């Protein structure tokens, strides 16, 4: 597999691993989303000034308002973070 194919497979596996924790295996609950962010993107949460900011982030991921984060919503987060990191890298 190419590096990009491996990256895509890892995104899917990561989402599925955390989504399988409780409830619907096709979505992340608020608790599952928080755990994923804490374990997989710890630097993101370190930048949050308080718990309210983290809660606001979690709520903003739920575009359709169903109180869960589906794979499409998760991919939007990953894409936005990737763009932000890439843009920061280009400015150095």
Average pLDDT, the chain: 84
Q: Tell me which DSSP letter residue 65 carries.
A: S
The C-alpha atoms of residue 32 and residue 90 are separated, in whole angstroms, by 33
- Overall average pLDDT of the 29-37 stretch: 89
The C-alpha atoms of residue 7 and residue 41 are separated, in whole angstroms, by 15
- Overall average pLDDT of the 11-15 stretch: 97
CB neighbour class for 69 (10 Å; exposed up to 12, middle 13-18, buried from 19): buried
At residue 37, the pLDDT reads 86
For strands 69-70 and 27-28, give the pairing. antiparallel
Q: Give the pTM.
A: 0.79
All structural domains of the chain: 3-91 (1.10.238.10)
């Amino acid at each position: 597999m190419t590096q990009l194919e491996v990256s895509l497979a890892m995104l899917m596996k990561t989402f599925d691993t955390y989504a399988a924790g409780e409830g619907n295996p096709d979505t992340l609950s608020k608790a599952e989303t928080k755990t994923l962010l804490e374990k997989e993107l710890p630097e993101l949460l370190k930048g949050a000034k308080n718990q309210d900011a983290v809660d606001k982030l979690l709520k903003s991921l739920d575009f359709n308002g169903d109180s869960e984060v589906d794979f499409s919503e998760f991919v939007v987060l990953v894409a936005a973070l990737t763009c932000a990191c890439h843009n920061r890298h280009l400015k150095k």
